[in-house]
Amino acid sequence: MRLARKALLALSTHRGLTTWATHSKVVRRSVTRFMPGERLDDALGAARELRARRMGVIVTELGENLTTPDDARAVAARYAAAIERIASEGLDAYVSIKPTQLGLDLDRTLCEALVVRLADLAAASGRSLWIDMESSRYVDDTLALVTAVRQRALPVGVAIQAYLYRSAADVDTLAPAGVSIRLVKGAYLEPPSVAMPRKRDVDDNYFGLATRLLTSAARTGGPTIHLATHDRLLIERLEAFIRTERIPDSVYEYAMLYGIQTSLQQRLAAEGRRVRVLISYGANWFPWYMRRLAERPANVWFVARNLVGG
């Protein structure tokens, strides 16, 4: 499985494969398992359906590493419109952005200005802005953006990747600063000097970080912790800890991707747990899609069945 994961992550950046896949009706059909459509309207339609099942959402437009400042400004304008739509419809939804969508590679001053503007719009509607974490080389710059938002007393959340060795130190800095954290395992191809290569070690680090965050949030009433995992065994460990330590439901939510472990999402929600589904949309879905397959290479068989059936 480790080799399959590495292969899928390597293919996620292959330009020729990206071009072929995004024009293939068969591949596009398989993608619908993981995203309701390419338009914001599709994402918000799914959000309304999930609301009926007592689940909240986070929506994000796919795309990263843009090439011009004008592209970054256009993305920011679309996110501003999304924040306004969410507020006007009264949806239990947040927007999550990627820094390289907003020009981090091109102009850091511009990127910060766009991120702060979106955080201000989100706060005006009573919501936080969420910031995704990309590969390890962007961690410092992404956390600098988080700091810039917090310095303006605006609510913000950021994804922290448990497979990075540095994440324990980052958590210790972010949590006291009032930053919400979405704890994920990590989905980029990283060298073993930077990220833990063994799943067992990642799982143990995730559990350690999660329990530390939950304990702190329960004690201080800090910002909500998003436990972003589809790993049933890990969730069982977390549930046992939450029961034993009497962690209030108000300090955490489970966060899962649209179309993955749907039955588990529904079960947790039916049991009264707060569940938030991450919904992606947009035309630039191929790298993201390959990372989803890499998280669970068995999903490749689902794609293969679609290819054969198509």
Residues with catalytic roles: 132, 182
Q: Can you tell me the distance from the alpha carbon of 111 to that of 158, in angstroms, rounded to the nearest whole number?
A: 16
User: Is 35 in contact with 292 (CB distance < 8 Å)?
Assistant: no
Query: Considering just the CA atoms, what is the radius of gyration of the chain in Å?
Result: 18
**Other C-beta atoms lying within 10 Å of the C-beta of residue 286:** 22
* Residues whose CB falls within 8 Å of the CB of residue 88, separated by 6 or more in sequence, listed in order: none
How is residue 199 written in tokens? 């799943």
- The backbone torsions φ and ψ at residue 279, rounded to the nearest 5 degrees and listed phi first, read -110, 125
User: Is 91 in contact with 309 (CB distance < 8 Å)?
Assistant: no
- The backbone torsions φ and ψ at residue 90, rounded to the nearest 5 degrees and listed phi first, read 65, 35
Q: Can you tell me the distance from the alpha carbon of 8 to that of 288, in angstroms, rounded to the nearest whole number?
A: 11
Q: How many angstroms separate the Cα of 71 from the Cα of each of 43, 65, 67, 207, 279?
A: 21, 10, 7, 38, 22
User: Is 95 in contact with 133 (CB distance < 8 Å)?
Assistant: no
Query: Do the bridges between strand 129-131 and strand 180-184 make them parallel or antiparallel, or are there none, so unpaired?
Result: unpaired
